[in-house]
């Protein structure tokens, strides 16, 4: 079951049907299947968006996420439970990079593609400064909610349209717009003034 999103609250709403309360859950031992189902409900949609940022193809992104959850099924629950989010996103990223590496071996750039690639726009010093600024902005992006960060990266890093973001994440266009607007507003509050002046 995928998480649902509310217009007013962009965070995923935890499905309540058949889910025990926190107090009741503490007295129960979660089975491997329940653990994987809970992880799937909470992280499937953000992971598909994350994988899509690498491969730019929805079906391949879904395959990568499926592989990620298959690997989760093979793990010792006790070892990954506390760092589940980090573990999932790391495995998803590594799997996406594996797919890209395999594809680059299969279909190397031809001469025409190489000629069409833009020349480097920055001098080495400018390139270093640009990289440092991007790294700094990414650190501030990490302070946004996961949903805000995901849609902002899909919009501005990956160049996706609102419709493509909606298709990838399952969110409505209104919710995507709200997340981007709220995320950018928060980012402007967080960024030092020298970032905003340029």
- What pLDDT is stored for residue 9 in this prediction? 45
The overall average pLDDT reported for the chain is 74
The residue among 145, 143, 170, 166 whose CA lies nearest residue 155 is: 166
Higher pLDDT, 154 or 68: 68
Strand partners, 4: 13
- What pLDDT is stored for residue 25 in this prediction? 45
State in Å, rounded, how far the first CA of the chain is from the last one.
Answer: 44
119-198: CATH number: 1.10.10.10
- Helix intervals (H) in 27-57: 32-55
Q: How confident is the model over 171-181, as pLDDT tens digits? A: 887 888 888 88
Across the chain, the runs of DSSP E, i.e. the strands, are 4-5, 12-13
The residue among 3, 10, 4, 9 whose CA lies nearest residue 148 is: 10
Higher pLDDT, 82 or 16: 82
As a whole-number percent, the residues of the chain with pLDDT over 90 amount to 6
The residue among 165, 191, 194, 197 whose CA lies nearest residue 46 is: 165
Give the domain ranges of the chain. Answer: 1-117, 119-198
Q: How many CB atoms lie within 10 A of CB 148?
A: 23
Q: How confident is the model over 124-183, as pLDDT tens digits? A: 666 566 667 777 777 888 888 888 888 888 887 777 788 888 887 888 878 888 888 888
- What pLDDT is stored for residue 126 in this prediction? 62
- What pLDDT is stored for residue 23 in this prediction? 44
- What pLDDT is stored for residue 182 in this prediction? 87
- What pLDDT is stored for residue 92 in this prediction? 92
Asked whether residue 112 carries a pLDDT value surpassing 60, the answer given is no
- What pLDDT is stored for residue 127 in this prediction? 59
What token pair was written down for 171?
Answer: 């969110």
**Please, what's the largest Cα pairwise distance for the chain?**
64
- What pLDDT is stored for residue 88 in this prediction? 92
- The Cα 192–Cα 181 span in angstroms is 19
Average pLDDT over residues 109-127: 52
Cα angle: 92, vertex 94, 96; to 5 degrees: 70
């Amino acid at each position: 079951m995928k998480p649902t999103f509310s217009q007013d609250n962009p965070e995923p709403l935890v499905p309540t049907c058949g889910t025990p309360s926190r107090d009741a859950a503490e007295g129960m031992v979660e089975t491997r299947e329940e653990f994987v189902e809970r992880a799937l409900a909470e992280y499937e949609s953000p992971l598909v968006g994350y994988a899509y940022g690498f491969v730019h193809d929805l079906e391949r992104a879904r395959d990568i996420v499926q592989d990620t959850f298959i690997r989760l099924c093979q793990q010792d629950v006790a070892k990954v439970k506390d760092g589940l989010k980090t573990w999932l996103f790391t495995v998803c990223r590594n799997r996406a990079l594996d797919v890209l590496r395999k594809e680059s071996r299969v279909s190397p750039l031809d001469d025409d593609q190489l000629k069409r690639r833009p020349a480097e726009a920055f001098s080495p010093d400018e390139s270093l400064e640009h990289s440092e600024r991007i790294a700094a902005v990414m650190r501030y992006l990490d302070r946004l909610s996961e949903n805000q960060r995901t849609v902002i990266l899909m919009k501005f890093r990956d160049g996706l349209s609102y419709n493509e973001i909606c298709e990838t994440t399952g969110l409505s266009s209104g919710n995507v717009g709200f997340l981007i607007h709220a995320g950018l507003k928060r980012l402007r509050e967080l960024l030092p003034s020298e970032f905003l002046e340029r």
